[in-house]
């Protein structure tokens, strides 16, 4: 018997069966033997394979095809890391290589209200990632699996960046920090999305501010004139009327689109702002992004960035956008929460240095676009704790904005609304957008007002006698009219031209 011949001799029944399955009929099999030439009762493997169309290869081919089709429907292998620490607001994970700002999912134990929690990478140290959850994480277990979320397609220039819906379909809608509708009016239907971080505009390409923007508030239009593309701060303590003033501007400003970011406000206030302050007409040309105080600091920051992205989208369509953000301080506070949680040292009033870097980065995205394009005029409210104008955020905001409107608590307490403190407020671009006569009148108004304020106590106790100071006499005579000029009802619209006429009339 030669070795390379396959015959049935010496094979057990099972071995014969296996040999048949692999190589087809064996030498000596009756049925086949009849078909084969007599002198080739026993054959080489190659000969058998050729004769039987190589059943061995066919078998493996079938098996490979089956594997291929299973592979096609199988999910790709997903890398995952493990949670090693959860202390305070941050979670730590190992085993993943993800960029700061990317998102991941963390598995929650079975039976949790939601199967997975979401988190964002906010920093790293060595191979440890710091994650900040954006959803509820109650029930999180040590060693829980952490999966990176899909990133944007590679061929996209902003690949990996988080993209949220933008578009005209969003007018009249209220969404959360992730672009999910909050108003119960069904899906947004937005066909476009935009990255959260907008492209930087070359400062030399920005169109200068040279057009007046009518904001519908007499005191601002006449004495603190705002230019199209200007970025203003609204500085006040709590409850002095910031939100109401923003709402008035939202209703009466001559802007094509309004984007409103409600960041870190009380949840109750969001509904109140939309229904009572903004009103139906205001909402119809607005998009509202709301991230109340109880959502994760990551989402509060994201909401501010998203508000700006939406405004940028409309500006890039050549529109004149009004952006209102309430409040910039809460944005700074959210960044403080994150930075402190991942171990950045606090500097001024507990604010870590990164806060003061984030503020200009956000604010610089608004303003005018390139020549001939659209614009974003922005109003940011800034909380001045205990009416302290030296608050580090207020200080920093004052330095990066093109003007500030200060609301005064004693005016509000006296029922003087809007409680704008004309003396402390300034619009830095005003001188270059209004005419000389207007400017002269503003100067005169401020002079009179400040002269009266400085001598108010003397006048009130009767220590000032008429005729000692001609300017003060005039100020005293004008004061009641100036005061009523500055006041404006919550539902009253005061356009630019009528406001200016009234200002001129005061001094004629
Ligand atoms: N123009 C106005 N006319 C009449 N009342 C006003 C006016 N502006 C504000 N108020 C009163 O002041 C209150 C507080 O206003 P608002 O909610 O705007 O303050 P806020 O500065 O936004 O407060 P917070 O810091 O708490 O958000 C209002 O509820 C309203 O009663
Ligand atoms: Mg408010």
Which of 261, 305, 296 lies closest to 164 in space, CA to CA? 305
Write the pLDDT tens digit of every residue in 438-495: 999 999 999 999 999 888 888 888 888 888 888 888 888 889 999 999 999 888 999 9
Residues of the chain with pLDDT > 90: what percent? 46
Residues 243, 244, 245, 251, Cα dihedral to 10°: 110
Ligand 1 neighbour 291 (Cβ under 6 A): no
Which atom of ligand 1 approaches the CA of 383 most closely?
25
For residue 407, which ligand has an atom nearest its CA? 1
Q: Which residues contact 376 (CB under 8 A, 6 or more apart)?
A: 229, 311, 312, 315, 321, 322, 323, 365, 366, 367, 368, 369
Check residue 26 and give its pLDDT.
66
Q: Which residue has the higher pLDDT, 2 or 337?
A: 337
Atom of ligand 1 nearest to the CA of 419: 8
* Distance in angstroms (rounded) separating the CA atoms of residues 165 and 319: 18
Best mutation site among 239, 261, 271, 410 for ligand 1, i.e. most ligand atoms within 8 A of its Cβ?
239
Which of 198-202, 263-267, 439-443, 488-492 bottoms out in mean pLDDT, i.e. has the lowest?
A: 198-202
Lowest-confidence segment of 71-85, 133-147, 246-260, 347-361 by average pLDDT: 71-85
CA–CA dist 378, 314 (Å, integer): 13
pLDDT of residue 50: 63
Q: SS3 for 326-380, per residue?
A: ECHHHHHHHHHHHHHHCCCCCCECCECHHHHHHHHHHHCCCEECECCCCEEEEEE
Cis bond leading into 238, ω under 30°?
no
Comparing C-alpha atoms, which of 64, 337, 258, 286 is closest to residue 174? Answer: 286
Same fold, 163-433 and 441-506: no
Q: Is 243 in the pocket of ligand 1 (CB under 6 A)?
A: yes
Give the pLDDT confidence of 360-400 residue by residue, as tens digits. Answer: 999 999 999 888 889 999 999 999 877 676 788 999 999 99
Ligand 1 pocket mutation, candidates 218, 233, 235, 244, criterion most atoms within 8 A of CB: 244
Q: Is the CB of 382 under 6 A from ligand 1?
A: no
* Burial of residue 406, with CB atoms counted within 10 A of its CB: 0-12 exposed, 13-18 middle, 19 or more buried: buried
Q: Where are the beta strands (DSSP E) in 212-363?
A: 212-213, 226-227, 231-236, 257-263, 286-291, 320-326
81-148 architecture in CATH?
Answer: Beta Barrel (2.40)
Indicate if ligand 1 lies below 6 Å from the C-beta of 236. Answer: yes
pLDDT band at 327 (very low <50, low <70, confident <90, very high): confident
Helix and strand numbers, DSSP H then E, in the chain:
18, 21
297 lines ligand 1 (CB under 6 A): no
> Which ligand sits nearest to residue 262's alpha carbon?
2
**The domain defined by 441-506 carries CATH number 1.20.1270.330:** yes
Asked whether residue 353 carries a pLDDT value surpassing 80, the answer given is yes
Higher pLDDT residue, 101 or 7?
101
| Residue of higher predicted confidence among 81 and 113 | 81
> Taking all residues of the chain, what is their mean pLDDT, rounded to a whole number?
85
Question: Which residues have beta carbons under 5 A from ligand 2 (an ion)?
Answer: 242-243
Whose C-alpha lies nearest to ligand 1, atom 28? 241
Handedness of CA 277, 280, 281, 282 (dihedral sign): positive
Tens digit of each residue's pLDDT (9 = 90 or more) over 30-54: 544 445 454 444 556 556 556 666 7
Question: Residue 153: is its pLDDT beyond 80?
Answer: no
- Using most ligand atoms within 8 A of CB, pick from 215, 235, 241, 407 the residue to mutate for ligand 1: 241
Q: Give residue 160's pLDDT.
A: 57
The string over 485-507, giving b where at least 16 C-beta atoms fall within 10 Å of a residue's C-beta and e elsewhere, is bbbbeeeeebebeebbebbeebe
pLDDT in tens, 274-291: 888 888 888 999 999 999
Across the range 406-431, mean pLDDT stands at: 92
Domain ranges (residues) in the chain:
81-148, 163-433, 441-506
pLDDT in the model for residue 501: 93
Instruction: Indicate if ligand 1 lies below 6 Å from the C-beta of 124.
Output: no
What DSSP state is assigned to residue 100? T
Q: How confident is the model at residue 150 (pLDDT cuts 50, 70, 90)?
A: low
pLDDT of residue 169: 92
Q: What is the pLDDT of residue 403?
A: 93
Section 113-134 average pLDDT? 89
Q: How many residues does the chain have?
A: 508
CA distance 456 to 462: 10
Contact 451, 471 (CB under 8 A): yes
pLDDT tens-digit readout, 64-86: 999 998 888 877 777 889 999 99
Question: Which runs of E-coded beta strand occur in 111-206?
Answer: 116-125, 128-133, 145-148, 163-166, 173-175, 192-195
How remote is the CA of residue 418 from the centroid of ligand 1, in Å?
9
User: What is the model's pLDDT at position 287?
Assistant: 94
Least confident span in 61-65, 147-151, 295-299, 458-462:
147-151
Tell me, in angstroms, the distance from the centre of ligand 2 to residue 400's CA.
22
270 Cα: distance to centroid of ligand 1 (angstroms): 14
Binned at pLDDT 50, 70 and 90, residue 3 comes out as: very low
CA-nearest residue for atom 10, ligand 1, is: 241
Rg (CA), the chain: 36
| 325-337 mean pLDDT | 92
Burial (CB < 10 A; 0-12, 13-18, 19+), residue 242, is buried
CATH no. for 163-433: 3.40.50.12240
**pLDDT of 7 above 80:** no
Residue 112 has pLDDT above 90, yes or no: no
DSSP string, 383-447: E-GGG-TT-HHHHHHHHHSSEEEEB-HHHHHTT-SS-B-TTT-EETTHHHHS-HHHHHHHHHHHH
């Amino acid at each position: 018997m030669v070795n390379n011949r396959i015959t049935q001799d010496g094979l057990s029944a099972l071995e014969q069966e296996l040999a048949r399955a692999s190589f087809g009929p064996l030498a000596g099999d009756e049925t086949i033997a009849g078909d084969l030439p007599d002198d080739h009762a026993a054959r080489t493997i190659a000969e058998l394979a050729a004769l039987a169309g190589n059943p061995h290869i066919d078998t493996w081919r079938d098996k490979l095809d089956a594997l291929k089709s299973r592979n096609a429907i199988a999910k790709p292998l997903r890398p995952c890391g493990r949670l090693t620490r959860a202390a305070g607001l941050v979670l730590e994970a190992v085993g993943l290589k993800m960029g700061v700002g990317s998102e991941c999912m963390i598995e929650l134990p079975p039976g949790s209200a939601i199967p997975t929690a979401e988190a964002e990478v906010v920093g790293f140290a060595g191979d440890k990632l710091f994650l900040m959850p954006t959803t509820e994480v109650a029930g999180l277990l040590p060693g829980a699996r952490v999966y990176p979320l899909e990133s944007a397609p590679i061929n996209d220039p902003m690949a990996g960046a988080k993209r949220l819906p933008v578009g005209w379909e969003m007018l009249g809608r209220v969404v959360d920090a992730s672009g999910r509708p909050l108003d119960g009016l069904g899906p947004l239907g937005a066909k476009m999305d935009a990255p959260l971080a907008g492209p930087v505009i070359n400062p030399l390409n920005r169109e200068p501010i040279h057009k007046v923007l009518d904001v519908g508030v007499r005191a601002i239009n006449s004495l603190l004139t705002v230019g199209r593309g200007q970025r203003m701060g609204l500085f006040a303590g709590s409850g002095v009327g910031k939100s109401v003033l923003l709402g008035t501007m939202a209703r009466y400003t001559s802007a094509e689109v309004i984007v409103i970011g409600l960041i870190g406000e009380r949840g109750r206030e969001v509904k109140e702002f939309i229904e009572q302050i903004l009103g139906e007409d205001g909402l119809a040309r607005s998009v509202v992004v709301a991230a109340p105080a109880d959502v994760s600091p990551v989402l509060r920051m994201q909401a501010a960035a998203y508000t700006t992205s939406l405004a940028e989208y409309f500006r890039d369509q050549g529109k004149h956008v009004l952006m209102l953000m309430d409040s910039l301080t809460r944005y700074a506070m959210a960044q403080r929460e994150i930075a402190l949680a991942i171990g950045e040292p606090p500097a001024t009033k507990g604010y870590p240095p990164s806060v003061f870097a984030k503020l200009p980065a956000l604010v610089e995205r608004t303003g005018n676009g390139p020549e001939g394009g659209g614009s974003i005029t922005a109003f940011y409210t800034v909380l001045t704790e205990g009416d302290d104008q030296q608050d580090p955020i207020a200080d920093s905001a004052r330095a990066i904005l093109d003007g500030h409107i200060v609301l005064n608590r004693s005016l509000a307490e006296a029922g003087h609304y809007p409680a704008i403190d004309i003396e402390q407020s300034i619009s830095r671009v005003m001188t270059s957008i209004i005419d000389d006569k207007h400017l002269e009148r503003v100067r005169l108004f401020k002079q009179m007002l400040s002269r009266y304020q400085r001598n108010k106590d003397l006048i009130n106790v009767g220590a000032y006698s008429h005729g000692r100071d001609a300017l003060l006499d005039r100020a005293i005579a004008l004061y009641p009219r100036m005061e009523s000029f500055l006041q404006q009802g919550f539902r009253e619209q005061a356009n630019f031209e009528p406001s200016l006429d009234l200002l001129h009339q005061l001094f004629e």
